[in-house]
Amino acid sequence: MIEDLHGKVILVTGSSTGIGAAAARAFGRNHAKVVVHYNRSTGPAQEVADDIVKAGGEAIVLQADVTDTSAIRTLVEKTVAHFGRLDVLVNNAGDLVERCPLAEVSDAFFDQVMHLNARSVIVACREAVPFMRRQGGGNIINVTSVAARSGGGPGSIMYAAAKGFVSTATHGLAKELVKDRIRVNAVAPGVIDTPFQIRHTNAQQMEGFRAGIPMQRFGTSDECAGAFLYLASDQLSSYVTGEIIEVNGGQLMP
Nearer to ligand NDP, 19 or 158 (CB): 19
Nearest-CA neighbor of 23 among 208, 225, 199? 225
| 28 is an interface residue for ligand NDP by CB under 6 A | no
Alpha-helix residue ranges (DSSP H) falling in the chain: 18-29, 42-54, 69-83, 107-114, 120-135, 147-150, 157-177, 195-200, 203-211, 221-232, 234-237
Name the pairing type of β-strands 9-12 and 58-63.
Answer: unpaired
Nearest-CA neighbor of 118 among 151, 152, 93, 147? 93
Q: CB under 6 A: which stretch of 51-59, 63-71, 129-137, 176-184 binds ligand NDP? A: 63-71
| 39 is an interface residue for ligand NDP by CB under 6 A | yes
| 98 is an interface residue for ligand NDP by CB under 6 A | no
What is the C-alpha separation between 116 and 136, in angstroms, rounded?
29
Nearer to ligand NDP, 4 or 166 (CB): 166
End-to-end CA distance of the chain: 31
| 65 is an interface residue for ligand NDP by CB under 6 A | yes
The residue from 93, 124, 160, 213 that contacts ligand NDP (CB under 6 A) is: 93
CB of 52 to ligand NDP, least distance (A): 15
Mark whether 159 is an active-site residue.
yes
DSSP-derived 3-state class of residue 38: strand
Nearer to ligand NDP, 2 or 224 (CB): 224
Active-site positions read 159
Residues near ligand NDP (CB under 6 A) = 14, 16-20, 38-41, 65-67, 92-95, 116, 143, 145, 189, 191-192, 194-197
